[in-house]
Structure 1
Amino acid sequence: MARVRRCKAIDCFNIVELPKHYCNQHANQEREYVPRDKQSVHRYNTVIRNRDDNKRQQYNFYRTRRWVHLRQRVLEEQHYLCQYCKADGRVTQGKTVDHIVPMEVAPDDKSSVDNLAAICSHCHNVKTRWEQSYYGTGKDNQRKHVSPVRSIAMINKLMKG
């Protein structure tokens, strides 16, 4: 049996045989596709992502069975819907599970279902930038001592605001 993968086109769920990356419908994108540089991925994972013991522990948490089960539970309970778009009255598929209050700010809440929400990629990018400015999280930032915001509606208002 041939090895297969999902088409890399956005919102396309057609199956293609390896070594192709796109289905017949999106074949015109195949020649533009550039695979990830393995050296830069390795450098990111070993140098940037694991830059200190705290970040290494956070990253390793996402590789545990506990996280896999928590993530699946949250996605199923929230019906794979982005909770931040939902606060705006829109319906968007959310495949990522995000900590409402980042692990760097509230490490004790990393396994709390109340601190997890399904989120779409667009909202996740916007929220990450907001967290970096509000909490001072992320590489080369200084952590700010501010009170954590636990309301999705309030975060949504602040990050778009």
Structure 2
Amino acid sequence: MKTEEVINLIRTDNLMKFYKSKEWKELRLQALERDHYECQSCKRKGKYRRARNVHHIKEVKTHPHLALELDNLESVCIQCHNEEHKRLEKYIKQKRFVNEERW
């Protein structure tokens, strides 16, 4: 997949096709191996957690030309990746008890 194709997929909001591409899967594995499968965010805090995700430091939607740049990637654990994208807050808000009646 050429850089232009990647940029076009991102601009047309077809991220799933990008994340399923051979190029992304190979680069993702390189990033995990480079970082020894350690969460870089936890590591900066003096902690250790195994990384399962690879995060784009500069978001692909705003910087599509950096989507396949190894220097723009870091390995992170699932929790840190969710925190980075504010997914955890969204999940907590959805799980809140709505009914006023409590037994």
**What is the TM-score normalised by the length of structure 1?**
0.46
Query: What are the ranges of 5 or more consecutive residues in structure 2 without an aligned counterpart?
Result: 1-9, 88-103
Aligned to 1:95: 52
Aligned to 2:25: 68
More helix by share: 2
Structure number with greater CO (CA < 8 Å, separation at least 6) is 2
Q: 2:37 & 2:62 partners in 1: Cα distance? A: 25
1:54 and 2:12 matched: yes
Aligned to 2:62: 105
Q: Could you list the runs of 4 or more consecutive aligned residues of structure 1 that deviate by over 6 angstroms after TM superposition?
A: none
Pairs aligned (count): 78
Query: What are the ranges of 5 or more consecutive residues in structure 1 without an aligned counterpart?
Result: 1-51, 131-161
Any idea what SS the aligned residue of 1:73 has? helix
Amino acid at match of 1:54: T
Q: 2:13 & 2:59 partners in 1: Cα distance? A: 12
Amino acid at match of 2:29: Q
Q: 2:11 & 2:83 partners in 1: Cα distance? A: 27
RMSD of the TM alignment (CA)?
Answer: 1.8
Amino acid at match of 1:86: K
Query: Identity over the aligned pairs, expressed in percent?
Result: 32
Q: 1:74 & 1:80 partners in 2: Cα distance? A: 8
Are the counterparts in 1 of residues 11 and 61 from structure 2 also a CA contact under 8 Å?
no
